Amino acid sequence: MAMEVTQVLLNAQSIDGTVRKHAEESLKQFQEQNLPSFLLSLSGELANDDKPVDSRKLAGLILKNALDAKEQHRKFELVQRWLSLDANVKTQIKTCLLNTLTSTVADARSTSSQVIAKVAGIELPQKQWPELIVSLLSNVHQLPAHVKQATLETLGYLCEEVSPDVVEQDHVNKILTAVVQGMNASEMNNDVRLAATRALYNALSFAQANFSNDMERDYIMRVVCEATQSAELKIRQAAFECLVSISSTYYEKLAPYMQDIYSITAKAVREDEEPVALQAIEFWSSICDEEIDILEEYGSDFTGNSDIPCFYFIKQALPALVPLLLEILLKQEEDQDQEEGAWNIAMAGGTCLGLVARTVGDDIVPLVIPFIEENIAKPDWRQREAATYAFGSILEGPSPDKLLHIVNVALSFMLSALTKDPNNHVKDTTAWTLGRIFEFLHGSTIGTPIITQANCQQIITVLLQSMKDTPNVAEKACGALYFLAQSYEDVGPSSPLTPFFQEIVQSLLTVTHREDAGESRLRTAAYETLNEVVRSSTDETAPMVLQLVPVIMMELHKTLEGQKLSSDEREKQGELQGLLCGCLQVIIQKLGSSEPTKYVFMQYADQIMGLFLRVFACRSATVHEEAMLAIGALAYAAGLDFAKYMPDFYKYLEMGLQNFEEYQVCAVTVGVVGDICRALEEKILPYCDGIMTQLLKDLSSNQLHRSVKPPIFSCFGDIALAIGENFEKYLMYAMPMLQSAADLSAHTANVDDDMTEYTNSLRNGILEAYSGIFQGFKNSPKTQLLIPYAPHILQFLDSMYMEKDMDELVMKTAIGLLGDLADTLGSNAGSLIQQSLTSKDFLNECLSSKDHMIKESAEWARLAINKAISV
């Protein structure tokens, strides 16, 4: 049955495009004609030591891809396909895979490990391939080193692939034993030890029971700590990665080991190579994350019944930890890259210091201040930068009172450093620190203002000046201004920024025109800062915001004048259009929020809409997401007047709804449909056939990202609210969709938080759709059309109630829907409603809810039901 595939596989990697293409075609054909034979051939190729390594690797890769895919729907198909294969074929393939683990060719072994894990990921949850783990572990001790390494690697991948609950505890114990033994210092082969250490990283989530046993835990911890002392860098790194993972998975078990771990990490931070040192710092960052979460839970819930108690490790380690972190702040690189994603030990140290500050609050301040004072004015830029970075890092966490004094002292120093310091890094960090000051220590919640009339002028002048500095510094200066503007968001009718508004806007526009504005994403920063300045502005500056409209329009117009563009230029054009549309979105929102400014702004509406349509026309297959968002804002401002734009705009709306691939575009467009429904009300009717068709297609598509589906359901509600009983003709399509989605969402095993969250958002969308439909039909003679759907809806509500896993939003929407149903159907549904659990237990629960939104909806439902059953 197997076929000779070596040459095709090699050709598929040829540098000659035609050859490659031809080979790919053949492989595809082969797969389509006879899948079992194809997979068998591939596994045979992978297992055959006489074959070239390249064809073996590709064979393994294709096998792997035949078992798994990124897209959820595709993955599901592949799993089903594998499960339905002939059992003999599968056995043969699996045998080949296991045999490959003994190959002397490292690449073949490694590839096979991954494929085995994929198969296990499919079969173990189905209780198939029960002998896998036993056979892997059967004689692991006697195996030659390379096979042992491959076996451990396979176990590692397996643990990554499979969820812990499908592996029985006995097997878990065996896996852990094998892995920990492989990690042991007595293991002389470094490859084996490395594979074991990496395997442990994945196996940690299986070790719940073992970590509850003191002896086993002690043993595992000892082995991990020993591995951090290995002579081999990769082993040390992997061991520290295990420690990081343990710190979050088994935080509450760490107390006995903290002393040792501190010594190990401190030594690594000070002496080891960067990849290891980074992981050592990450350990402490991870502990901070845990404690911040726990303390936040303490704070939000007065009963303090967090599952895990806080051990205050950071607080205890503080006197030693802070000096360590401060020390590494001085290890900057000479040409430290300021771009996004840059990462080095000094940056990791600062990040960790920031987390420590958030964990312990005030206690960190006296430990850091001397370092700042000592270094801030030193001749070596490293010292000045480190001092500034330390300062900036601790601004979030401690109480403002504790910081205000030093911030007040430091502010003028920083302002002068930002203009006068000769070093670019220092200026960069200084601007960032100013931004942090404005973000955390200035704003309406802070009693004593840091920024006064006296220094406001100077701050603005310095920031605007710094926007002319190198792109990285200018970007940070924009950031600082962003937070400054944000801090005046709630300031009331008069903002201290008002006198500088014109100057700020002018400077930001100048930045956007800098030749080097593409570096450090400076242009984006400038536009987004402009947006924030506009968003937080007050009525006083409304005339100036109005003046900005034609300016931004002109910029947008300029982007449309290009001739033939290269793909690179086209991408840049799209990006700039995005920034400008984003800016217009904010301006429209701002000016639309008060009647007088809206009135004036609307004089531009026709022109702006014309520009947006031209932005859309720049592209053939897709619509511009930011332009779409801006149109949503425009629709809201225009209200019924938006109807005149619909004939031209409609095709792009449809195009956006059709964009499965870029699901964010689809999601944004769905949102805009909602905006337009609220703006146009029944005037949207002529477009509803097209929109509904598209939305229904979206829902039935497997390709569309699932996150778009709940908003589509909500959008049904928006449409129904807008067109009322005219929704009648869509009932026969929309209702079955809602019903089957409801059935699905009522009983899902919520395996993880993501799934639970998704289920709840799906339910919310479904409920909003129903509510919109019922409200839309209210007072219509066609109300009776909805009666047949009532039993199912009530069942849906009942079953959700019984599952007891609704979040608060769903509860509110659900009980509101009960009211809408009773309100619209009245006595027609009286007896149905009375029979439902929802109308009794669930309603009572909601009536006594602490959440006032739930309570309000419940109150409404109660009245509507009383009316329905009293008639």
Residue 265 is a binding residue for another protein (CB under 8 A): no
**Contacts to another protein from residues 844-863, by CB under 8 A:** 850, 852, 855-856, 859-860, 863
Smallest separation (angstroms) from another protein to the CB of 380: 22
User: And the tokens for 797?
Assistant: 């509500």
Please enumerate in sequence order all residues whose Cβ is within 8 A of that of 641, keeping only pairs 6 or more positions apart, or say none. 602, 605
Site for another protein in 175-194 (CB under 8 A): none
- Give the pair of three-digit tokens for residue 652: 């792009």
Cβ neighbours around 849 below 10 Å, total: 18
DSSP category for residue 101 = T
- CB burial readout 452-484, b (16+ within 10 A) else e: eeebbeebbebbbebbebbbbbbbbbbbbbbbb
Three-state DSSP class for residue 448: coil
Cβ distance to another protein smaller for residue 555 or 820: 820
What is the rounded distance in angstroms from the CA atom of residue 513 to the CA atom of residue 530?
Answer: 13
- If you write DSSP's letter for every residue of 459-513 in order, what string do you get? HHHHHHHHTTS-HHHHHHHHHHHHHHHHHTTT--S--TTGGGHHHHHHHHHHHHT
Closest CA to 670 of 614, 721, 625: 625
Task: Give the contacts of 747 (CB within 8 A, at least 6 positions apart).
Answer: 799, 803
Q: Which is nearer to another protein, 93 or 545 (CB)?
A: 545
Among 175, 525, 657, 699, binds another protein (CB under 8 A): 525
Contacts with another protein in 61-80 (CB under 8 A)?
none
Angle at the Cα of 28 (from 25 to 32), degrees rounded to 5?
Answer: 140
Among residues 44 and 479, whose Cβ is nearest to another protein? 479
Q: Residue 809 and residue 483: Cα distance in Å, rounded? A: 31
| Least distance (Å) between residue 444 CB and another protein | 4
Which residue, 38 or 649, has its beta carbon nearer to another protein?
649
User: Total number of residues binding another protein (CB under 8 A)?
Assistant: 86
The values of phi and psi at residue 94, to 5°, are: -65, -35
Nearer to another protein, 93 or 368 (CB): 368
Q: How far is the CB of 745 from another protein (least distance, A)?
A: 19
CB of 83 vs another protein, minimal distance in Å: 28
> Measured from the CB atom, is 40 or 517 closer to another protein?
517
Tell me how far, at minimum, the Cβ of 192 lies from another protein, in Å.
Answer: 16
Alpha-carbon distance values, 578 to 338, 506, 612, 628 (Å): 24, 20, 11, 10
201 lies in the binding site for another protein (CB under 8 A) = yes
Alpha-carbon distance 803 to 211, whole Å? 32
Helices (H), 101-232: 106-123, 132-137, 145-161, 169-183, 190-203, 208-212, 214-227
Q: In 28-61, which positions are buried (b, 16+ CB within 10 angstroms) versus exposed (e)?
A: eebeeeebeebbbbbbbbbbbeebeeebbbbbbb
Binding track over 427-466 against another protein, x by CB under 8 A = -----x--x--------xx-x-------------------
With contact defined as beta carbons under 8 Å apart, do 814 and 851 qualify? no
Decide: is 43 part of the binding site for another protein (CB under 8 A): no
Q: What is the pattern of x (binds another protein, CB under 8 A) and - over residues 678-707?
A: x-----------------------------
CB of 629 to another protein, least distance (A): 5
The verdict on 507 binding another protein (CB under 8 A) reads: no
In the complex, the smallest distance separating the C-beta of residue 145 from another protein, rounded to whole angstroms, is 20
Minimum CB distance to another protein, residue 781 (Å):
11
Minimum separation from the CB atom of position 128 to another protein (A): 27
**Nearest approach, Cβ of 555 to another protein (angstroms)?**
17
The stretch near another protein (CB under 8 A) out of 20-28, 451-459, 475-483, 833-841 is 475-483
Q: What x-and-dash track marks residues 793-832 binding another protein by CB under 8 A?
A: -----------------------x--xx--xx-x------
We find the least distance from the C-beta atom of residue 379 to another protein, in angstroms, to be 25
Q: Is the CB of residue 450 less than 8 Å from the CB of residue 411?
A: yes
> Closest distance between another protein and the C-beta of residue 445, in Å?
4
| Residue 19 in tokens | 């050859």
Is 532 a binding residue for another protein by CB under 8 A? The answer is yes
585 binds another protein (CB under 8 A): yes
Nearer to another protein, 140 or 672 (CB): 672
Applying CB under 8 A, among 124, 180, 238, 322 the residue interacting with another protein is 238
Decide whether 44 or 443 has the Cβ nearer to another protein: 443
> Rounded to an integer, what distance in angstroms lies between the CA atom of residue 329 and that of residue 322?
11
- Distances from the Cα of 676 to the Cαs of 636, 689, 832, in angstroms? 7, 15, 35
Pick 123 or 820: Cβ nearer another protein: 820
Structure tokens at 98: 């296991």
531 lies in the site for another protein, by CB under 8 A: yes
Residues 143-172 that bind another protein (CB under 8 A): none
Q: How far is CA 352 from CA 328, 367, 393, 480, in A?
A: 11, 15, 9, 22
Shortest Cβ 35–another protein spacing (Å): 31
Nearest by Cα to 451 from 420, 417, 423, 412: 412
The 3-state DSSP composition of the chain as helix, strand, coil percent (nearest 5) reads 80, 0, 20
At 186, give phi and psi (nearest 5°).
Answer: -70, -15
Instruction: Give the residue carrying structure tokens 């159907």.
Output: 825
Residues 628-647 that bind another protein (CB under 8 A): 629, 632-633, 636
Closest distance of CB 300 from another protein, Å: 7
Q: How far apart are CA 159 and CA 136, in angstroms?
A: 13
**Residue 782 tokens, joined:** 């066609």
Residue 242: CB minimum distance to another protein, A: 10
The amino acid sitting at 230 is: S
Name which of 6 and 359 has its Cβ closer to another protein: 359
Task: Please tell me the distance from the alpha carbon of residue 84 to that of residue 74, in angstroms, as a whole number.
Answer: 16
Q: Is 110 in the site for another protein (CB under 8 A)?
A: no
When the beta carbons of 8 and 517 are compared against another protein, the nearer one is 517
* DSSP for residue 842: I
* Nearer of residues 300 and 700 to another protein, judged by Cβ: 300
Per-residue mark of binding to another protein, 271-310 (x: CB under 8 A): -------xx--x--xx--x------x--xx----------
Whichever of 609 and 633 has its CB closer to another protein, that residue is: 633
| Shortest separation between residue 457's beta carbon and another protein, angstroms | 20
What gap in Å lies between CA 113 and CA 100, rounded to an integer? 9
Shortest Å, Cβ 524 to another protein: 3
In the region spanning residues 334 to 393, those forming contacts with another protein, defined by CB under 8 A, are: 340-341, 343, 347, 350-351, 354-355, 392-393
Subset of residues 747 to 776 that bind another protein, contact rule: CB under 8 A: 768, 771-772, 775
Q: Which is nearer to another protein, 60 or 435 (CB)?
A: 435
Site string for another protein, 390-419 (x = CB under 8 A): --xx--------------------------
Q: Is 656 in the site for another protein (CB under 8 A)?
A: no
718 lies in the binding site for another protein (CB under 8 A):
yes
> Binding of another protein at residue 675 (CB under 8 A)?
yes
Q: How far is the CB of 90 from another protein (least distance, A)?
A: 28
Among 41, 228, 245, 375, binds another protein (CB under 8 A): 245
